[in-house]
Amino acid sequence: MEHLSVADAQQCVLESVAVLGAEPVKLEQSLGRVLAEDVRANRDLPPYDVSAMDGYAVRSADLEQVPAILTIIEDIRAGDMPAKAVQDGQCARIMTGAPVPDGADAVIRVEDTQLVSIGGPLLNPLMKQLANRLSPQADKSLVVPHTEEEANGKSNSLLEAVQINVAVKPGNDIRPQGEGMRNGDVVLAAGTEITPGVIGVLATVKCAQVQVVRHPRVAILSTGNELEDMDDPVDPNKIPDSNSYALMAQVQALGIEPALLGIARDDPVELAEYLQRGLRFDVLLVSGGTSVGVHDYVRPTIEALGVQMKFWRVAMKPGHPVAFGSTADTFVFGLPGNPVSSMVCFEEFVAPALRRMMGHARLYRRTIAARLTHNVRQQAGRTEFIRVTLVKEGGGYAATSTGAQGSGMLLSMARADGLMVVPAESTGVAAGEQVTVQLLDGTVFQDDAGFRE
Ligand code: AMP
Ligand code: MG
């Protein structure tokens, strides 16, 4: 069988898997999940025209000439309903989010106003004048600035009024009814990933329980006589099982809690038992034993258990002996035993498959362009994934190999910010050339803000 290219193998995997069914989860547990159904608004928001500012609800026609003085007829706080309509020469004090009273068509923010008091003995004549629509032409001598004590409401012997210093158009600083969302409209479509912002919208439409795409149940199995379990005493002749844990963490990074099945010996009977247990899951990741050694029993054993193999070699380094197959209920990835290979194959094949099953539209890790800081030689014919660190450089990044790249050298992976992809047709990359780097976890954050004010 011809070795598949990485792209063809990825396509084969993605064509095989499908989005899983829906399940309900509590809103509090839904972060990172994908909506399985459209979500609609259950009311208009805001429910009526509301003020966008702390200030005064006015009739814009009263402000053709400014400054103008308007009497304050009531106080409307968020949560209150206005009791009175605003007439000519009047306004209502209004807080952000409070409903705009009838008669008013604009809001003036408090910064553009000045509270004034209208003095005691002159109160009655002035009241008359106000009834005739108080305007800037009114006798200004009757109007004095409000003292602080009066502003605090300690004196009620004075008629409250406000001087408005700016003219505004109708609608100024009013958030119209339904501006945020309209009753019945789809506000979140099926397939949306639930981010904190989406959680806010779901809470707004009172979705205490959300229908999301089910998570795949994932099992992880290590194979090999040489492997030492975490709980075993240290034996200098053995190899510690790191794949179970590294793969576990890769699965966890996608938001799934996998089951660790342990270590199966290179024995067809024992292996078959473990594999059968794994075939009860949606996805089974088996590491080791997938190459062509005489004790590499994984492929024949899973085939004997009814797994239909789709491919078992890919033109890539590391990761060449990767295998993929399925039964009616389970997708099986045979990952190479070498720790770096199994992790790279997870990134290239398993992660996109799990993301698709979880309902995500974005399946692949983000890539960036970077400048390679040194020469890299490569044997044409297979895609190479070189572990690199990334350093910001001008507007871009400089990529440097993490060092020795043996597929058993797990530190090369532990130190990496990303996987630099050397395409199969390349025979090498020279220092200074642009390369593509797939970002690994942790690179979503950076050490500076990345912008200057
Ligand atoms: P295999 O694919 O079984 O031929 O294994 C290739 C190499 O990977 C061998 O050196 C194994 O010892 C090593 N290896 C296999 N499985 C694991 C594991 N679970 N953890 C660490 N190393 C492993
Ligand atoms: Mg082995």
- CA of 337, nearest ligand number: 1
Cα 218 to averaged position of ligand 2 atoms, centre (Å): 21
In a domain, 304, yes or no: yes
pLDDT of residue 434: 97
In a domain, 453, yes or no: no
Q: State whether 36 and 110 are in the same domain.
A: no
Q: State whether 242 and 194 are in the same domain.
A: no
Residue 101: DSSP 8-state: P
Cα 419 to averaged position of ligand 2 atoms, centre (Å): 25
- Our mutation pick for probing the ligand 1 site, out of 287, 344, 407, 410, counting the most ligand atoms within 8 A of Cβ, is 287
Q: How far apart are CA 56 and CA 69, in angstroms?
A: 12
Nearest atom (ligand 1) to Cα of 321: 2
- CA of 334, nearest ligand number: 1
Averaged pLDDT, 146-174: 74
Q: State whether 314 and 372 are in the same domain.
A: no
In a domain, 208, yes or no: yes
- CA of 266, nearest ligand number: 2
**How many structural domains does the chain have?**
4
Q: State whether 106 and 39 are in the same domain.
A: no
Nearest atom (ligand 1) to Cα of 266: 3
**Any idea what the CATH number is for the domain that residue 118 is in?**
2.170.190.11
- Our mutation pick for probing the ligand 1 site, out of 229, 232, 243, counting the most ligand atoms within 8 A of Cβ, is 243
pLDDT tens sequence across 31-54: 999 999 999 999 999 999 999 999
Averaged pLDDT, 176-192: 98
**Any idea what the CATH number is for the domain that residue 330 is in?**
3.40.980.10
| pTM (2 d.p.) | 0.89
In a domain, 256, yes or no: yes
pLDDT tens sequence across 224-246: 999 999 999 999 999 999 999 99
Single out the residue of 66, 115, 70 nearest to residue 92, CA to CA.
70
Q: State whether 351 and 306 are in the same domain.
A: yes
pLDDT tens sequence across 71-108: 999 999 999 999 999 999 999 999 999 999 999 999 99
In DSSP terms, 304 is beta-bridged to: none
Cα 288 to averaged position of ligand 1 atoms, centre (Å): 5
pLDDT of residue 131: 42
Q: State whether 41 and 109 are in the same domain.
A: no
Cα 113 to averaged position of ligand 2 atoms, centre (Å): 80
Cα 31 to averaged position of ligand 1 atoms, centre (Å): 35
Domain boundary pick from 357, 385, 401: 357
- Our mutation pick for probing the ligand 1 site, out of 239, 250, 343, 413, counting the most ligand atoms within 8 A of Cβ, is 239
In a domain, 101, yes or no: yes
Q: State whether 323 and 263 are in the same domain.
A: yes
Cα 267 to averaged position of ligand 2 atoms, centre (Å): 11
- Hey, whose CA ends up nearest to atom 20 of ligand 1? 241
Q: How far apart are CA 99 and CA 51, in angstroms?
A: 6
**Any idea what the CATH number is for the domain that residue 197 is in?**
3.90.105.10
Task: Tell me the Cα Rg of the chain.
Answer: 34
Alpha-carbon torsion (245, 251, 256, 260), positive or negative? negative
Cα 338 to averaged position of ligand 1 atoms, centre (Å): 5
User: Burial letters for 70-98: b for 16+ Cβ neighbours within 10 Å, e otherwise?
Assistant: bbbbbebeeeeebeeebbebbbbbbbbeb
Q: Say yes or no to pLDDT of 134 above 60.
A: no
3-state secondary structure of 7: helix
Q: State whether 158 and 190 are in the same domain.
A: no
The residue assigned the tokens 């009241």 is 127
Q: State whether 283 and 325 are in the same domain.
A: yes
Single out the residue of 130, 325, 137, 360 nearest to residue 254, CA to CA.
360
CA distances (Å), 369 to each of 114, 191, 438, in order? 57, 29, 9
Q: Say yes or no to pLDDT of 208 above 70.
A: yes
Domain boundary pick from 175, 205, 227: 175
In a domain, 171, yes or no: yes
∠ CA 89-92-98, rounded to 5°: 150
Range(s) of the domain holding residue 233: 6-20+215-357
Peptide bond into 101 cis (omega under 30): no
Contacts of 447 (CB under 8 A, 6+ apart): none
Using 50, 70 and 90 to split pLDDT, how confident is the model at 118?
Answer: low
Residues lining ligand 2 (ion), CB within 5 A? Answer: 224, 288-289, 337
Nearest atom (ligand 1) to Cα of 226: 12
Pocket lined around ligand 1, Cβ cut-off 6 Å: 222, 224, 226-227, 239, 241-244, 287-291, 293, 336-339, 408
Using 50, 70 and 90 to split pLDDT, how confident is the model at 383?
Answer: very high
Nearest atom (ligand 1) to Cα of 223: 16
Q: How far apart are CA 156 and CA 129, in angstroms?
A: 20
In a domain, 437, yes or no: yes
Q: State whether 288 and 308 are in the same domain.
A: yes
**Any idea what the CATH number is for the domain that residue 427 is in?**
2.40.340.10
Tell me which H or E stretch contains 150: helix 148-151
How many percent of the chain have pLDDT more than 70?
90
Q: Say yes or no to pLDDT of 10 above 90.
A: yes
pLDDT tens sequence across 307-363: 999 999 999 999 999 999 999 999 999 999 999 999 999 999 999 999 999 999 999
- CA of 321, nearest ligand number: 1
Q: State whether 200 and 156 are in the same domain.
A: no
- CA of 336, nearest ligand number: 1
In a domain, 452, yes or no: no
Q: State whether 184 and 37 are in the same domain.
A: yes
